[in-house]
A = this chain, B = another copy of it.
Amino acid sequence: MIQKNIYVNGIAHNIFVDQETTLAKVLREQLHLLGTKIGCGEGMCGACNVIVDGKLTRSCVIKMKRIPEDAKILTIEGIGSPLNLHPIQKAWVKHGGAQCGFCSPGFIVSTKALLDSNPDPSRDEIRDWFQKNRNACRCTGYIPLVNAVVEAARVLRGHANVESLDYKLPADGHIFGSDSRYPRPTAIGKVTGTLKYGGDLALELPPNRLYLALVQAEVSHANIKSIDTSEAEKMPGVFKIITHKDVKGNNRINGLAFPTNKGDGKERPILCDSKVFQYGDAIAVVAAYTEEQAKAAVKAVKVDLEVLPAYLSIPAAKAPDAIEIHPGTPNTYFIQPHNKGEDTKPIFADPNVVTSESFMISSRQPHMPIEPDCAFGFINDDGAIIIHSKSIGVHLHKVMIQEGLALGDDQLQLVCNPMGGTFGYKFSPTIEALVAVSVQATGRPCYLLFNYHQQQQYTGKRSPFYGTVRFATDKKGKILGMETDYDVDHGPYCEFGDLLTLRGIQFMGAAYDVPNIRGEGRTVCTNHAFGSAFRGYGGTQAQLFSEVAADVMAAELKMDPWEFRYLNCHKKGGKSTNPSGQDLDSRTYDEMLLAIKPAYEEALARAKAQSTPTHKKGVGLAAGSYGCGLDGPDSSNARAELNPDGTITIRTAWQDHGQGADMGAVGTAHQALRPMGVSPELLKFTWADTRNPVSGPSGGSRSQVMTGGAVRVACENFLAGLKKPDGSGYYTYDEAKKAGVPTDYDGTFSVPGVPLDANGLGSPFMVYMYGVCLAEITVELATGKVKVDKVIFNVDIGKVNNRLVTDGQLWGGVAQAIGLALTEDFDDIQKHKTMVGAGFPFIKDIPDDITINYFESPREYGPFGAAGTGEIPLCVPHPAILNAIYNATGARVTRIPALPERVLEAIKNKDKKKK
């Protein structure tokens, strides 16, 4: 340890530190400046940016020994505070720069450093700066951030008033609609670093809190012979070591398997007992007083394993000699056939029919939120265990874990924290049960923070699909039939693996009028990372397969891909049905395709003109859809509560993982409450909690439709209940109490979905969103490297609630689609455990030119006509990119990500074929 004097935000600090400790840890754990976030923890994401003696510094990697005596450090807390925002922070709010908000402090500090040295940077200079300084954002696609910097710089230079950064309510007072840029309620907390995320709240637990560290498997498949904690238990600072023996219930997470699933859904242990099923599986938890002590004790726990063959892919798990990963359940544990219309065999056999075939493998895309997984828990005064986590399905997760822990309904409460993005991985329980069992076993508040390697290696991933799509058309290109055949690698745990497999049936070929389909999807158990939800869930993989297959079909027909799509797409006034045999709730494909046509033609001309012998430019198209809701019938609940101070609490379990639940709830409620003329600041958003009305999980773009619907109904009930009988307006809280009128109003919203039957037919969703995407790319022939130059994305997401939110969702989703198409994977457990290793897209990987065009069409089942938003950008742009590579090179990349080596190989294979 050493003593050092430093100045932080103008305040002198005399600090006592381990020289090897990082500045970020000292700021957070010793000085409690929690606005400085730790994302990757290895200098790859910039969430921890601070300014040290004028220089932008990644505080998570700089050690205290390198901080000079009397260093002057500026953190987000020194830039501005909620009551005194800096213009950069105001611009961030105005442009919706904070979605999950976890990267915002780092970006804002970085912007401060940029504008201190360059008060008038160009957009390219801003992008260069963020690239150079590795500021990573996973939500926004970077565009609103650059917009915010440009506008903040203008204000700081005195070329605009600071008031120009403030939101102005329109004269009529509305905040719902595609013209609405009302800032989300959590924005100010996010841009000031004062909104506390799980890892921040953990550091604010009472001093008797325990740090949890996991003993994890370092092999992918093994039998456990013994677990010896005796030596570790004696180590200093160890409070207790928890193993499966401490788990009071059946030690299983309930995967809620379908009845048709060959497994019972109870194969996932909370703490491994007999077997290790994947790398990273939790074998024991060390609860200790400090991180250092917990980590030291982890190393001393001895686990004796009998290592088994690891099945890390579909072919390996399906090999004839493969043993059952879960003994008693076949590795292929769920099969869903698809039989729509006529049998396709005769069609494909017809000599007048043109056919095509496309085989693809999709990736195990990692979600890569900037904030690694974290949770904490404690026993409350009623003796219940309270778990705070990044859960995006608190009621769902409660059901999934309570039996394993032997906790009754009153004994377990789940709450969602402000969180730095999930993009769906938290549709699965991750560490909730581990924290809960630790709290049970120790009686203390406990917290578990994953580092980024754990985040990558031991949270769910997008499940790869392996499969084939075949089209049959008439000579003019009109689709007559489609055949599909695919396997889903869902890792070792079945939870929702059956559900996911249905998405292949529901979305392959979804944009087109395909009268006859035959196909089959299968869910396969492997020893790779367990599958979990991810934006576009299944629709992503399905439409990658079918939209590339559509391009292959067009090529086979020597037809322009746009023409092929326009010919076959569902059309306004048509009678076509989607792959599930269901009518479409909105028919805008033809309109969106027509609208994109001029740009498509310009792009083709530009690609031709600008291609060089070394750099080939290409243009790709894709179309697609996604459903909003749980598969089949769905419902949600909400409550509107009038408070004594005149505020109205919109109480739901609409989990906010950065997508904008806060704005969704407040925007919808405000619209519903318009007759009352309530000011939007009076509406209070609540963080999801199992004590709140059951709103269902926040996934599958269902929340705006389902919980938004419930909010609307609750608010309508609220208005009806509080309307004074004499028509003179609405009761105040005191008046209502006096009149004996209730102040709290529940609302329930249900939709009559019909789940897929044995033939894969039904009406699984009552609301869908639709999109058509155009991508322009450049391929560097020498390296195979692909760069996306420009994207146009025409979307039909019903009526827009809030433009800042939907723009952000769509820009950010396109960015993830680019990563999905070109760089992101979690295939190599070691190489892909870091953000950079796993192909995280930084700002220069994402074009500054992404245009979103809304084709607003009100939905019957959407509140005020709104559909969902989040999934559609992960369902359409990535095949457009793959198709653009083909357009540029004539080569088909059949496995994503289209890494340079795969592109080179595809080009080589094409050239071979030619020869």
Interface residues of A (CB under 8 A from B): 1-3, 9-19, 21, 29-32, 81-83, 189, 192, 194-196, 201, 204-208, 236-237, 239, 289-293, 378-381, 386, 415, 445, 687
**Contact of A2 with B204 in the complex, beta carbons under 8 Å:** no
How far apart sit A274 and B575, CA to CA, in the bound complex (Å)? 100
Sample of 20 further A-B pairs with CB below 8 A, known A29-B206, A208-B293, A236-B239: A1-B206, A1-B380, A2-B380, A2-B381, A3-B380, A3-B386, A9-B81, A10-B81, A11-B194, A12-B189, A12-B194, A16-B206, A21-B206, A29-B207, A30-B206, A31-B32, A207-B292, A208-B237, A237-B239, A237-B289
How far apart sit A797 and B346, CA to CA, in the bound complex (Å)? 115
Query: Would you give the shortest CB distance from A3 to chain B, in whole angstroms?
Result: 7
How far apart sit A17 and B207, CA to CA, in the bound complex (Å)? 10
8 closest A-B pairs by beta carbon, nearest first, are: A32-B32, A289-B289, A10-B83, A11-B194, A30-B204, A207-B290, A1-B378, A10-B82
Given A16-B445, A289-B237: A81 and B29 within 8 A (CB)?
no
How far apart sit A418 and B12, CA to CA, in the bound complex (Å)? 12
**Contact of A205 with B16 in the complex, beta carbons under 8 Å:** yes
**Contact of B378 with A16 in the complex, beta carbons under 8 Å:** yes
Contacts of A192 in B (CB 8 A): 11
Query: Nearest chain-B residue to A83 (Cβ)?
Result: B10
**Contact of A206 with B82 in the complex, beta carbons under 8 Å:** no
**Contact of B207 with A1 in the complex, beta carbons under 8 Å:** no
How far apart sit A386 and B2, CA to CA, in the bound complex (Å)? 10
Query: Would you give the shortest CB distance from A294 to chain B, in whole angstroms?
Result: 11
Query: Would you give the shortest CB distance from A822 to chain B, in whole angstroms?
Result: 39
How far apart sit A445 and B189, CA to CA, in the bound complex (Å)? 35
Contacts of A12 in B (CB 8 A): 189, 194-195
Which of B2, B3, B11 contacts A81 (CB under 8 A)? B11
Contacts of A291 in B (CB 8 A): 207
How far apart sit A31 and B205, CA to CA, in the bound complex (Å)? 9
Which of B15, B29, B205, B379 contacts A30 (CB under 8 A)? B205
Query: Would you give the shortest CB distance from A164 to chain B, in whole angstroms?
Result: 24
Given A1-B378, A30-B206: A201 and B11 within 8 A (CB)?
no
Which of B21, B206, B290 contacts A17 (CB under 8 A)? B206
Query: Nearest chain-B residue to A192 (Cβ)?
Result: B11
Query: Would you give the shortest CB distance from A237 to chain B, in whole angstroms?
Result: 7
Which of B30, B83, B206 contacts A18 (CB under 8 A)? B206
How far apart sit A172 and B195, CA to CA, in the bound complex (Å)? 50
Copies assembled: 2
Which of B1, B10, B194 contacts A445 (CB under 8 A)? B1
Contacts of A9 in B (CB 8 A): 81, 83
Which of B1, B196, B381 contacts A14 (CB under 8 A)? B196
**Contact of A379 with B31 in the complex, beta carbons under 8 Å:** no
How far apart sit A228 and B32, CA to CA, in the bound complex (Å)? 39
Contacts of A293 in B (CB 8 A): 208
**Per DSSP, are chain A's interface residues mostly helix, strand or loop, or mixed?**
loop
How far apart sit A163 and B380, CA to CA, in the bound complex (Å)? 51
Query: Nearest chain-B residue to A32 (Cβ)?
Result: B32
Contacts of A3 in B (CB 8 A): 380, 386, 415
How far apart sit A82 and B445, CA to CA, in the bound complex (Å)? 36
Contacts of A10 in B (CB 8 A): 81-83
Query: Would you give the shortest CB distance from A415 to chain B, in whole angstroms?
Result: 8
Best-buried of A9, A13, A204 by chain B (most CB within 10 Å): A204
Query: Would you give the shortest CB distance from A234 to chain B, in whole angstroms?
Result: 12
Given A3-B386, A16-B378: A208 and B290 within 8 A (CB)?
yes
* A–B pairs, 16, beta carbons within 8 Å: A1-B380, A1-B381, A9-B81, A10-B81, A11-B81, A11-B189, A13-B196, A13-B204, A15-B204, A16-B204, A16-B205, A30-B206, A30-B207, A31-B32, A32-B32, A237-B289
Query: Would you give the shortest CB distance from A79 to chain B, in whole angstroms?
Result: 12
Contacts of A16 in B (CB 8 A): 201, 204-206, 378, 445
Contacts of A237 in B (CB 8 A): 208, 239, 289
How far apart sit A775 and B433, CA to CA, in the bound complex (Å)? 73
How far apart sit A618 and B103, CA to CA, in the bound complex (Å)? 72
Query: Nearest chain-B residue to A684 (Cβ)?
Result: B70
Contacts of A18 in B (CB 8 A): 206
**Contact of B201 with A1 in the complex, beta carbons under 8 Å:** no
Query: Nearest chain-B residue to A26 (Cβ)?
Result: B206
Query: Would you give the shortest CB distance from A167 to chain B, in whole angstroms?
Result: 18
Query: Nearest chain-B residue to A443 (Cβ)?
Result: B236
Contacts of A201 in B (CB 8 A): 14, 16
Query: Nearest chain-B residue to A239 (Cβ)?
Result: B236
How far apart sit A215 and B209, CA to CA, in the bound complex (Å)? 25
How far apart sit A11 and B186, CA to CA, in the bound complex (Å)? 12
How far apart sit A83 and B196, CA to CA, in the bound complex (Å)? 25
**Contact of B14 with A208 in the complex, beta carbons under 8 Å:** no
Query: Nearest chain-B residue to A82 (Cβ)?
Result: B10
Query: Would you give the shortest CB distance from A366 to chain B, in whole angstroms?
Result: 29
Contacts of A83 in B (CB 8 A): 9-10
Contacts of A11 in B (CB 8 A): 81-82, 189, 192, 194
How far apart sit A564 and B840, CA to CA, in the bound complex (Å)? 92
Contacts of A205 in B (CB 8 A): 16, 30
Best-buried of A12, A192, A195, A415 by chain B (most CB within 10 Å): A12
Contacts of A381 in B (CB 8 A): 1-2, 19
Query: Would you give the shortest CB distance from A601 to chain B, in whole angstroms?
Result: 52
Query: Would you give the shortest CB distance from A453 to chain B, in whole angstroms?
Result: 21
How far apart sit A181 and B239, CA to CA, in the bound complex (Å)? 56
How far apart sit A208 and B295, CA to CA, in the bound complex (Å)? 13
Query: Nearest chain-B residue to A289 (Cβ)?
Result: B289
How far apart sit A289 and B238, CA to CA, in the bound complex (Å)? 11
How far apart sit A488 and B30, CA to CA, in the bound complex (Å)? 46
Query: Would you give the shortest CB distance from A438 to chain B, in whole angstroms?
Result: 15
Contacts of A380 in B (CB 8 A): 1-3
Query: Nearest chain-B residue to A8 (Cβ)?
Result: B194
Query: Nearest chain-B residue to A415 (Cβ)?
Result: B3
Contacts of A1 in B (CB 8 A): 206, 378-381, 386, 445
How far apart sit A82 and B78, CA to CA, in the bound complex (Å)? 11
How far apart sit A642 and B17, CA to CA, in the bound complex (Å)? 27
Query: Would you give the shortest CB distance from A460 to chain B, in whole angstroms?
Result: 27
Query: Would you give the shortest CB distance from A165 to chain B, in whole angstroms?
Result: 19
Query: Would you give the shortest CB distance from A609 to chain B, in whole angstroms?
Result: 55
Query: Would you give the shortest CB distance from A643 to chain B, in whole angstroms?
Result: 9
Contacts of A415 in B (CB 8 A): 3
Contacts of A29 in B (CB 8 A): 206-207
How far apart sit A189 and B5, CA to CA, in the bound complex (Å)? 14
Query: Nearest chain-B residue to A645 (Cβ)?
Result: B70
Contacts of A207 in B (CB 8 A): 29-30, 290-292
How far apart sit A910 and B386, CA to CA, in the bound complex (Å)? 72
Query: Nearest chain-B residue to A204 (Cβ)?
Result: B30
Query: Would you give the shortest CB distance from A689 to chain B, in whole angstroms?
Result: 9
Query: Nearest chain-B residue to A1 (Cβ)?
Result: B378
How far apart sit A16 and B196, CA to CA, in the bound complex (Å)? 12
Query: Nearest chain-B residue to A33 (Cβ)?
Result: B32
Contacts of A31 in B (CB 8 A): 32, 204
Contacts of A82 in B (CB 8 A): 10-11
How far apart sit A14 and B9, CA to CA, in the bound complex (Å)? 24
Query: Nearest chain-B residue to A292 (Cβ)?
Result: B208
How far apart sit A445 and B381, CA to CA, in the bound complex (Å)? 33
Best-buried of A9, A13, A14 by chain B (most CB within 10 Å): A14
Contacts of A195 in B (CB 8 A): 12
How far apart sit A217 and B30, CA to CA, in the bound complex (Å)? 34
Query: Would you give the shortest CB distance from A708 to chain B, in whole angstroms?
Result: 24
Contacts of A194 in B (CB 8 A): 11-12
Contacts of A15 in B (CB 8 A): 204
Query: Would you give the shortest CB distance from A67 to chain B, in whole angstroms?
Result: 15
How far apart sit A17 and B209, CA to CA, in the bound complex (Å)? 11
Query: Nearest chain-B residue to A689 (Cβ)?
Result: B3
Contacts of A386 in B (CB 8 A): 1, 3
Query: Nearest chain-B residue to A290 (Cβ)?
Result: B207
Contacts of A687 in B (CB 8 A): 14
